[in-house]
Amino acid sequence: MVIDIIKAKIDVVEEIGLVVTLQKSGKSFKGLCPFHNERTPSFHVFAESQTWHCFGCNEGGDVFTFVQKQQGLEFRDALLYLAEKAGVLVEDHSSRNPEEEREITAVKDRLRKVNEDALLWFHQMLLRSREAAEARAYVQSRGISSDSVITFGLGYAPDRWDSLCSYLLGQGYTERELINGGLARDRTSGEGEGQEKSGGVYDYFRGRLIFPIRDMRGRVIGFGGRALGDEQPKYLNSPQTLLFEKNSVLYALDMAKDAIKLANQVVIVEGYVDAVIAHQYGTKQTVACIGSAITAKHIQQLKKLTKQVTLALDPDAAGATATEHGIQEALKSFDHTVVPVPLAAAAGGRKRNEPRGMIRLEEQVDAEINVLQLPAGEDPDEVIRRDFSLWAYAVSHPLPLVDYYFVAKTAGLNLREPNGKSEVARRLLPVIGMISDRVKRDAYIRKLATMITIDERSLHEELQRVLRGQRAEEAGFLGSAPRRGPGGVPQSSSFPSSEGRGKEGGLDRSRNNRLQWEDYLIGLLLQNPGLSPYVCGIINDGDFAGTDTRELYHILNSVYQRGSSSSNQSFEQHVPSALLATVARAQQCIESRPPRDGAGQVRDAVQCATRLKRTHLLQLNTELKYLVREAEEAGDVVSMQQLQHQLLEIHRQLRTIDSATHLQG
């Protein structure tokens, strides 16, 4: 299989060594983790198993995961990258037929070319034409340097009806191509729709300063045009085209992506000028969202680069709504890790009627979202130009989301009145509940208690109530079946998970082969995508040992979470052909066993997932013990303490898993 051949040819130590300075220590190699900030190395590469793991941020995997994470690639692209390196041929004939594929590629290429030509023309206009004098004056008045004009390729669209069109038509493009590229409008559109007579075309952008919008790879896909006078709209963006998808593009992302990785932060501003000025002054981790709403698609692109999102949207009322909206999208779109937490250890203690060893599944957002605080009434570009140090400080010390909510959610409430107090608690407790760090959480409870002068302990109790209310539904272990939004997949009632425990089912305990368990789990999920929420509370991508099964699990989960009604069809669209063999293998693995009813499937899936989690934890345990011994021999006290700490954490998780297994019977 292609993946195995690649893995045999590419050494994980060598590949990671290209990016991380690795130091040999015993059988493993260590270095500073490229995925989180640290001063002492907790990032380890194991030559023997060809795996890596960071005991600081808990990222880990094989060479594929490393390339994916480090370069921000989808599995498919990581596969192509590694295959090329290994000199292995991968054929990826995905869902579409090749004929169609070729045609679309050709059309796209042509649209790219027309956009590229338009860009050059706009740019020359701004630099040289007499009629662009006003635009040049505007550029200067906003403090945009001539270097920035060139790097960002700013341009000018003259205030005439067909100057760009007649230029491009002269270059051999057709009217249809100009319209499809979002550069021209049809004169006849609006009246007599659907009629084929051509009344000619006219320029889409007129009398505007032009900001070229590029994709992640720096190719022009559309334009943003800012009015110079009072014309409406103030900002006009390219219409939706084959290349330009408004809701997913972030302005300046192509120029910001390296800085985002380096700074491990992305700053999102609202306007093109804000982004240009931020870059000009050196805060290159800045992008602007096009239109004003942050969408899930924006976050999808960003989360491959960083987990720290700083929103620098306007502080006015509309801005606050946009900020709130952005936060919600970000919270939804980042990966959620569901962590089992023993109830006995939870703050606030265990309720009398809850059995010992009971666990709660806590959902944690795998990201840090915060809000940039700027002086009221000033746009980022104004702040930057007036006082860069103020901006730089704000960027490096953004307001954590929870603190932001403490301000935003209490505005206008009277904290001295009982009604105001309970309203504040009602609004803020769910926010506090999202904090995974218990010490931090307690600190915020204290802050809230002081704010509304209420006993801390009753707030803790209230918080537990809120958390239980929110999460019990999600928790497969607690008896109530997972609730899932859209999707049309079998819902709770078909899988009573409390029923029929005790029996092991058909799983052969002795065949403790991790990869086979992975195949079996994938097979179950293929057969019934509705099992996904039962499983994702227990394991995540990182717990898989097989590259192929891990990616399939990832695809299955994301297809399920996107809630497609025809899960199977859309699943097939997402599977790279290199993984089709694994799909067949997993299906076979299911077919070779007696059929299960709904409850049986749930039981098997949960059991499988638990076992895989346990195996992974045991592997980490072994690796850690080895590293501890090594640190001990080297007399490295600091590392030893850190590793011991991690070891305890692994043991805690193992105990949790074991008590959960015990509960499942």
Contact footprint for Zn ion (CB under 5 A)? 33, 35-36, 54, 56-57
Nearer to Zn ion, 36 or 427 (CB): 36
517: its two tokens = 């368990």
Nearer to Zn ion, 57 or 663 (CB): 57
Are 288 and 250 contacting, i.e. CB atoms less than 8 angstroms apart? Answer: yes
- For the CB of residue 42, give the shortest distance to Zn ion in the complex, in Å: 6
Q: What are phi and psi of 281, to 5 degrees?
A: -90, 5
The full 3-state SS of 140-206, as one line of letters, equals HHCCCCHHHHHHCCCEEECCCCCHHHHHHHHCCCCHHHHHHCCCEEECCCCCCCCCCCCCCEEECCC
Nearer to Zn ion, 111 or 650 (CB): 650
Which long-range contacts link 127-136 to residues 24+ away (Cβ below 8 Å)? 129/156, 129/158, 131/156, 131/158, 131/159, 132/156, 132/158, 134/228, 135/209, 135/228
The C-alpha atoms of residue 462 and residue 483 are separated, in whole angstroms, by: 23
- For the CB of residue 451, give the shortest distance to Zn ion in the complex, in Å: 35
Nearer to Zn ion, 36 or 187 (CB): 36
Are 209 and 228 contacting, i.e. CB atoms less than 8 angstroms apart? Answer: yes
Nearer to Zn ion, 57 or 358 (CB): 57
Nearer to Zn ion, 36 or 652 (CB): 36
Nearer to Zn ion, 36 or 468 (CB): 36
* DSSP-assigned beta bridge partners for residue 157: 208
- For the CB of residue 339, give the shortest distance to Zn ion in the complex, in Å: 17
- For the CB of residue 75, give the shortest distance to Zn ion in the complex, in Å: 21
- Cβ neighbours of 447 (radius 10 Å): 14
- For the CB of residue 52, give the shortest distance to Zn ion in the complex, in Å: 10
Nearer to Zn ion, 67 or 157 (CB): 67
- For the CB of residue 45, give the shortest distance to Zn ion in the complex, in Å: 12
- For the CB of residue 60, give the shortest distance to Zn ion in the complex, in Å: 9
Q: Identity (one letter) of the amino acid at 546?
A: G
* DSSP-assigned beta bridge partners for residue 267: 286, 310
- For the CB of residue 44, give the shortest distance to Zn ion in the complex, in Å: 10
| 285-316 residues labelled b (16+ CB within 10 A) or e (exposed) | bbbbbbebebbebbbebbbbbbbbbbbbbbbe
* DSSP-assigned beta bridge partners for residue 45: 29, 52
- For the CB of residue 19, give the shortest distance to Zn ion in the complex, in Å: 13
Q: Following DSSP, what letter does each residue of 346-374 receive, concatenated?
A: STT---TTSPTT-EEEEEEESSEEEE---
- For the CB of residue 143, give the shortest distance to Zn ion in the complex, in Å: 39
180: its two tokens = 């499809």
Q: What are phi and psi of 268, to 5 degrees?
A: -105, 120
Helix (H), strand (E) at residue 428: helix 418-433
- For the CB of residue 43, give the shortest distance to Zn ion in the complex, in Å: 6
Nearer to Zn ion, 148 or 653 (CB): 653
Nearer to Zn ion, 33 or 157 (CB): 33
SS3 label, residue 659: helix
The C-alpha atoms of residue 162 and residue 204 are separated, in whole angstroms, by: 9
- For the CB of residue 22, give the shortest distance to Zn ion in the complex, in Å: 14
Nearer to Zn ion, 35 or 517 (CB): 35
Size of the chain, expressed as the number of residues it contains: 665
Nearer to Zn ion, 17 or 430 (CB): 17
The C-alpha atoms of residue 522 and residue 112 are separated, in whole angstroms, by: 40
The C-alpha atoms of residue 57 and residue 35 are separated, in whole angstroms, by: 8
The C-alpha atoms of residue 181 and residue 188 are separated, in whole angstroms, by: 17
Nearer to Zn ion, 54 or 586 (CB): 54
- For the CB of residue 8, give the shortest distance to Zn ion in the complex, in Å: 27
- Cβ neighbours of 417 (radius 10 Å): 11
Q: Is 58 exposed, middle or buried (0-12, 13-18, 19+ CB in 10 A)?
A: middle
